[in-house]
Amino acid sequence: MPDLWQDAMDHAVTLARKAGEIVRDALQNDLKIMCKSSSVDLVTKTDQNVEQLIITSVKEKFPGHSFIGEESVAAGEPCVLTENPTWIVDPVDGTTNFVHGYPFVAISIGFAVNKMLEFGVVYSCIEDKMYTAQKGKGAFCNGQPLQVSNQKEINQSIIATEFGSNRDPDAVDKIFSNMRKILCLPVHGIRGVGSAAINMCLVASGCVEAYYEIGIHCWDVAAAAVIVSEAGGVLMDVEGGPMDLMSRRVLAANNNIIAERIIKEIEAFPAVRDDEP
């Protein structure tokens, strides 16, 4: 079969690069920072402008396609994945990093058809690392093939996770308690760069064995999910079973052994689904 979505993927790479330039330029200027669901859930004019740029350009080139975009959903658009070719966009993944100039900020563009992810583009724009993957064709960073770590021992591993933006004390207690359990396995270390997409690309790159988080959104992980699986990794729900893109929970690991060990240790807590009206 000819490569059906190559054109769309090439366009995603072009847009991610353009968006990255806008993000880097914006870092030189005064950022207009606003709050969304809480005082720690931030958004900037740049997030909104970049999303508009991506959506406008895709609509021109692929008029029949659908979108799920972080800022469009925040503005009241529905967050529903249909069978239609759908672009799942986080214009600035790591907005808090961006606001503080902490150098891990990504443009994340995932693409699904019939509810299955077909390709993913994550541009870590301050590091200038372009991560790409298309189903069945491998994962790459700046054109170099990616491969997950072959580590099978949890106590020889680095695990990435995040505190997220939930400040509900019960949820924060669970997050700390889960980190404590993982740390005391023991593991070599716990890390987190403040961007779900980049954390997952680090799993794909082989320098982190796994990443888990509860509270992320579909736009944080859609693109990187393809990158992890094409680099040989696995994606699961934090309680086991397949990853559900709309569930706001993700576990990405280099293999099933590491994934299952983490699942055994951590305790999930509720998060309202992305597709819940």
The residues of the shown chain that bind ligand LIP, judged by CB under 6 A, are: 70, 90, 93-95, 162, 164-165, 195-196, 213, 216, 220
Quick one: tokens of 201? 């690309």
- At its nearest, how many Å lie between ligand LIP and the CB of residue 42? 7
Cβ 108 to ligand LIP shortest distance, Å? 8
**Is residue 270 reached through a cis peptide bond, with omega within 30 degrees of 0 on the bond before it?**
no
Q: Which is nearer to ligand LIP, 187 or 198 (CB)?
A: 198
Which of 216/238 has CB closer to ligand LIP? 216
Of 209, 200, 112, residue with least CA distance to 157 = 209
Return the number of the residue (98 or 119) whose C-beta is nearest ligand LIP: 98
The nearest distance, CB 146 to ligand LIP, in angstroms, is: 19
Q: Could you count the other beta carbons within 10 Å of the beta carbon of residue 262?
A: 25
CA gap 222, 87 in Å, rounded: 9
Q: Closest approach of Cβ 150 to ligand LIP, in Å? A: 26
Cα angle 55-215-242, degrees, rounded to a multiple of 5: 85
Alpha-carbon span 66 to 89, nearest angstrom? 11
Nearer CB in complex with ligand LIP: 4/75: 75
What crossing angle do the helices spanning 196-205 and 218-230 adopt, rounded to 10°? 10
CB 190 to ligand LIP: min, Å: 14
H helix count then E strand count, the chain: 8, 14
| Residue nearer to ligand LIP on the CB measure, 4 or 35 | 35
